[in-house]
Amino acid sequence: MNEPRFHKRTIFLALYLVFAILPVYWMLNMSFKTNNEILSTFSLWPRDFTFEHYRTIFTDVSWYSGYINSIIYVSLNTVISLLVAIPALSVFAFFRNRVDSLATECATTAELLLGNLELVSASGAGAPAAAPVGPPVMAGAGR
């Protein structure tokens, strides 16, 4: 394997992973800091480690009622989506098979007709005589 190319890919992957994980780390870091530490200093890890924010989230009614409402909403959304998606998938599969069989039948008929046309063209039997000149005459137009 080409060593410089491998080295570049490894560096790119490492940088990508660092930048992808950095926001998650920063969010967790901030969650364990006190409010004063968040507002006053910049640090890569908490100086005064605290679970106060988590205690507030799990004990305050306004926070956990929002979580419960979100879980109810997501559950209803999942059920409704499945009730719509499963019958739609069945109908799609049914009509897809019908369309596939119709397309296969059309292709087979077209091949047969084109084969016959080639045979007739090669024999010269199907060549038209002189083409009529003038407007087409409709049946019963002169009566």
Q: What is the pLDDT along the chain (143 residues), one digit of tens a residue?
A: 566 677 888 999 999 999 999 999 999 999 999 988 888 888 888 888 899 999 988 888 888 888 889 999 999 999 999 999 999 998 888 887 788 888 889 999 988 888 877 777 777 665 555 555 556 555 555 55
Scan for tokens 């007739």, then name that residue.
120
136 is written with which tokens? Answer: 């087409």
pTM: 0.44
The pLDDT value recorded for residue 117 is 78
The one-letter amino acid at 74:
V
- The contacts of residue 44 (CB under 8 Å, 6+ apart) are 29
CA distances from 137 to 16, 133, 140 (A): 76, 11, 9
CA 39 – CA 28 distance, rounded (Å): 16
Question: H-type helices in the chain, by residue range?
Answer: 3-31, 35-40, 52-59, 61-123
